[in-house]
């Protein structure tokens, strides 16, 4: 079990939900080699690394990726 203690000024608010969300996002990024967008929660789409070739970019279209441009694609896990 991971336990963390975070120190910052008492004048700022604290959100355990945000710590848990961030920890889940970091674990997901590490486990699946993806990135998570701002505000990501478990079950949300993740950002995948850009394709290395034009052929790989074309192939993504039929594989369930949501592609905004050749270098930016998201998908559900």
pLDDT interval class at 6 (50, 70, 90): low
Convert the pLDDT of each residue in 8-55 to its tens digit: 667 767 778 888 898 899 999 999 999 999 999 999 999 999 999 989
| Residue 76: inside a domain | yes
Convert the pLDDT of each residue in 66-76 to its tens digit: 988 888 999 99
Residue 10 CB-half CA count within 13 A: 0
Run of H or E including 73: strand 72-75
Number of domains in the chain: 1
| Residue 17: inside a domain | no
Run of H or E including 52: none
Q: Whole-angstrom Cα distance, residue 10 to residue 42?
A: 29
For 22, the 3-state DSSP assignment is helix
| Residue 2: inside a domain | no
Residue 65 domain boundaries? 40-77
| Residue 57: inside a domain | yes
| Residue 46: inside a domain | yes
Query: What pLDDT, on the 0 to 100 scale, is given for residue 8?
Result: 66
Q: Whole-angstrom Cα distance, residue 72 to residue 69?
A: 5
| Residue 73: inside a domain | yes
Query: What pLDDT, on the 0 to 100 scale, is given for residue 57?
Result: 86
Query: What pLDDT, on the 0 to 100 scale, is given for residue 54?
Result: 87
């Amino acid at each position: 079990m991971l336990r963390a203690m975070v120190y910052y000024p008492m004048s700022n608010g604290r959100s355990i939900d945000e710590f848990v969300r961030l920890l889940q996002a970091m674990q997901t990024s590490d486990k699946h080699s993806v990135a998570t967008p701002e505000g990501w929660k478990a079950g949300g789409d993740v950002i995948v690394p850009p394709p290395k070739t034009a052929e790989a970019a074309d192939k993504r279209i039929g594989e369930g990726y949501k592609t905004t441009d050749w270098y930016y694609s998201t998908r559900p896990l």
